[in-house]
Homo-oligomer: A and B are copies of this chain.
Amino acid sequence: MKRKRSYARQTREALSVLGKLIRIGRIERGMTAQDLADRVGISRTTLHNIEKGAPGPEIGTVFEAAALAGVRLFDQGDAALRTENGRLAEKLTLLPKSVRPSRTEVDDDF
């Protein structure tokens, strides 16, 4: 049974922001909801949920909608994203591949 999820405020806010950015981008580009939905390859219903900031839709479709609406994810375009991707890949090789829980716990203050 899949439990009902709870989300941190940051998560809810981020979802809401992204949804609004997509809607704004879509409107500024003069696209109807049906237009964008067709291009993304989803239904108008799902796009509506995305713009509403719902947590359920697949991240792939949301990011695709953002891309087609002109929203720059991570404030970066294609090229910068690829560069960033490379940097992160490098950084990952410098980190331990496996996390061995030491005595110092996760220190989850807050």
Give the interface of A toward B (CB within 8 A). Answer: 3, 5-11, 13-18, 20-21, 23-24, 26-33, 35, 39, 41, 54-64, 66-68, 73-75, 77-78, 81-82, 84-85, 88-89, 91-92, 95-96, 99, 101-102, 104, 106, 108
Q: Would A10 and B58 count as touching, CB distance under 8 A?
A: no
Which residue of B8, B41, B85, B101 is within 8 Å of A20 (Cβ)? B85
Q: Would B41 and A81 count as touching, CB distance under 8 A?
A: no
Q: Would A5 and B60 count as touching, CB distance under 8 A?
A: yes
Q: Would B13 and A78 count as touching, CB distance under 8 A?
A: yes
- Chain B's closest residue to A108 (CB) is B39
Q: Would A63 and B17 count as touching, CB distance under 8 A?
A: no
